[in-house]
Amino acid sequence: MKFNYPNGSNFVNHKGNMHDRNNHFTRYGDRGMTLEHEINESNQYYLSKGMAVIHKKPTPIQIVKVDYPKRSAAMIKEAYFRKASTTDYNGVYDGYYIDFDAKETKNKTSFPLSNFHQHQIDHMKACVEQGGICFALIKFTLTNEIYVLESNDLFYYWDEQFKGGKKSISKPTIDKLGYKIDYSLNPIIPYLNAVRKIILKYKEI
């Protein structure tokens, strides 16, 4: 059973248990891992090899009621999901601040910009201003294709939509501007390869 997460990610209920998408991941049947799980595993690999320190931020929760039973852990009895004010992933690689969000689409021919929210774009713009490396990690789920799209390219199309531009970025455009990431064994999603290319590009300018 799959629930829609407030921010668009999936929330998986497996064997009757609720799984926090931050902390508990389930390899469910033959359907493979969630994109989030794949990224977290990749980050774990990068961390274990001393290559980067990048983590997913916890899901923001608005806590309303907590019980404090004697001699046992505080139990949250009422809480709600909150909208994140930043992107989901950040950290440090080779002296660079890294910041990105991961988005999936079932669309075959384009990536709908509605996957992003204005505050996420604003956040990435502010990070880029400070010299951070920001991008979107986009997965086309029907074809299992993953791209890293640099934030400046994302900003361009984001801003264009408010000037009469399209509400999506076509797949050929993403293929041309972005960096395609092939699934591998370890890490599952070797997205630092694209990050290195982005860094090199800016060093050359």
Query: Which residues are annotated as part of the binding site?
Result: 86, 88, 101, 120
Would you say 158 and 117 are in contact if contact means Cβ atoms under 8 Å apart?
A: no
Closest Cα to residue 120, out of 57, 176, 191?
A: 57
Residue 181 touching its own copies (CB under 8 A): no
Q: Which two tokens stand for residue 147?
A: 């791209």
- For its own copies, which is the closer residue by CB, 77 or 108? 77
Question: Which of 10, 32, 80, 119 touches its own copies by CB under 8 A?
Answer: 80
- For its own copies, which is the closer residue by CB, 63 or 142? 63
Residues 6+ apart with CB under 8 A from 193: 179, 181
Question: Which of 9, 34, 43, 59 touches its own copies by CB under 8 A?
Answer: 59
End-to-end CA distance of the chain: 49
For residue 15, the minimal CB distance to its own copies (Å) is: 13
Residue 170 touching its own copies (CB under 8 A): no
Taking CB under 8 A as the rule, which mask of x and - marks residues 7-26 in contact with its own copies? ----x-----xxxx-xxx--
Question: Which of 2, 92, 172, 183 touches its own copies by CB under 8 A?
Answer: 92
Would you say 120 and 155 are in contact if contact means Cβ atoms under 8 Å apart?
A: no
User: What is the rounded CA–CA span in Å between residue 144 and residue 36?
Assistant: 14
Closest Cα to residue 124, out of 92, 75, 89, 94?
A: 89
Binding site for its own copies (CB under 8 A): 3, 6, 11, 17-20, 22-24, 47, 50, 52-53, 55, 57-66, 68, 73-82, 84-86, 90-99, 123, 126-127, 129-132
